[in-house]
Amino acid sequence: MVESSLIILAVFLAIYAFVVFLDVRKAKKRGVKYHFRQAVTAFLFLLPACVLAYFFILLPIVYSLGYGFTKFPLLRPDRIEFIGFRNFTDAFEEIASDGWLAKAIKNTAFFVVLVVPLQIILALALALFCNFKAKGNVIFKVCFFTPVVISLAVTAYLWKELLSPAESSFINSILGVFGIPPQDFLNNPDTTMTAIVLISAWQGCGYQMLIFLSGLSGIKKELYEAARLDGCNAWQRFLRVTLPGLRPVLLYIVITVFIGACRIMIQPMLMVGYQENSVTLSYYMWYQGFRGRNVGYSAAIALLMTIFIGAITLIQRKLLGGKDNDR
């Protein structure tokens, strides 16, 4: 492990030395001078950030690519061995035999397909609502954004309590008013993920609302005026002016919400635990690595996830961003 990290460091240093070489040569040609003292100061200023970034950002990225091809017990790093593609074939076998990984993929897909449109539409509606010119509607913005700043652990435990199967729990007591018997939404396999979708959308949409609002403020007022003069009604103005104006922001939001949704993990973990009806991809990956102590297999799953998410992101970019190029 020490050797591999030194090799990675050497590669980065070599690239950097090459860039320095180019810069110095170019500076000589143009007669620009580098002051030795200033350069040393700059290096000293950059050093702490470089050390931390190397250990906590670059190495994890590089290692997460490499571990997937090894057998690596978490507690015995000295027993690491290269096993080629066995982790990946294991993963595909797990999918083919309808094992936990297949359940995790199914649950994650269900979650993503529901939460991405729901959260974005909710956020857009809230943003349009807050965009009205009215005194004091900042307070609405503050209210809608509040769930975002509360921690995932707090909301998970809070909703676990609200949804508890007891007759006196919040949701069940409301259902009781309408004469519906108590339900256990979180542990009923049919409703687990639906409940988590609604909770996630509730907690997350305030964030996208703010980004939509900054996008809305960038749309020129004259466009609305022009549309109104052309006889467009409110709905047409929304379709013809607001939506096209929001396209760059929308692309950003779709991609970030999608990536965030693929990583869903804390809510099922704290509200339901490691069950067939609640396991998600990230949760499975974490469980295999941390509880199962099988770092190699976990990294292989992470790598597959990265490739999949990267591919979908590229497709989204093409679909949503491409129309801009046509014009």
How far apart are the C-alpha atoms of 293 and 247, rounded to whole Å? 44
User: Least distance from C-beta 207 to other proteins, angstroms?
Assistant: 7
Please list every residue from 264 through 293 that binds other proteins, using CB under 8 A: 265-266, 270, 285-286, 289-290
Q: How far apart, in Å, are the Cα atoms of 102 and each of 95, 148, 294? A: 5, 31, 18
User: What are the backbone angles phi and psi of residue 78, rounded to the nearest 5°?
Assistant: -75, -20
73 contributes a contact to other proteins by CB under 8 A: no
Which of 177, 181, 190, 231 touches other proteins (CB under 8 A)? 177
Q: Counting every residue, how long is the chain?
A: 327
173 contributes a contact to other proteins by CB under 8 A: yes
226 contributes a contact to other proteins by CB under 8 A: no
Q: Residue 13 or residue 96: which is nearer to other proteins going by CB?
A: 13
Which of 102, 109, 152, 223 touches other proteins (CB under 8 A)? 152
Q: Residue 99 or residue 176: which is nearer to other proteins going by CB?
A: 176
Residue range at the interface with other proteins (CB under 8 A); choices 12-20, 92-100, 106-114, 187-195 = 12-20
Residue range at the interface with other proteins (CB under 8 A); choices 88-96, 169-177, 185-193, 231-239 = 169-177
Q: Residue 69 or residue 159: which is nearer to other proteins going by CB?
A: 159
Sign of the Cα pseudo-torsion (112, 113, 116, 122, in order): negative
69 contributes a contact to other proteins by CB under 8 A: no
Q: Which residues pair with 81 in a beta bridge?
A: 71
Please report where in the chains the tokens 């979708």 appear, as a residue. 197
Which of 29, 81, 168, 326 touches other proteins (CB under 8 A)? 168
Please list every residue from 238 through 257 that binds other proteins, using CB under 8 A: 248-249, 251-252, 255
Sign of the Cα pseudo-torsion (292, 293, 298, 300, in order): negative
136 φψ region: left (φ > 0), alpha (ψ -120 to 50), beta (else): left
Query: How many residues of this chain interact with other proteins, rule: CB under 8 A?
Result: 101
Q: Residue 94 or residue 96: which is nearer to other proteins going by CB?
A: 94
Q: How far apart, in Å, are the Cα atoms of 95 and each of 88, 89, 106, 110, 298? A: 11, 10, 10, 16, 15
Q: DSSP characters for 111-133?
A: HHHHHHHHHHHHHHHHHHHHTS-
150 contributes a contact to other proteins by CB under 8 A: yes
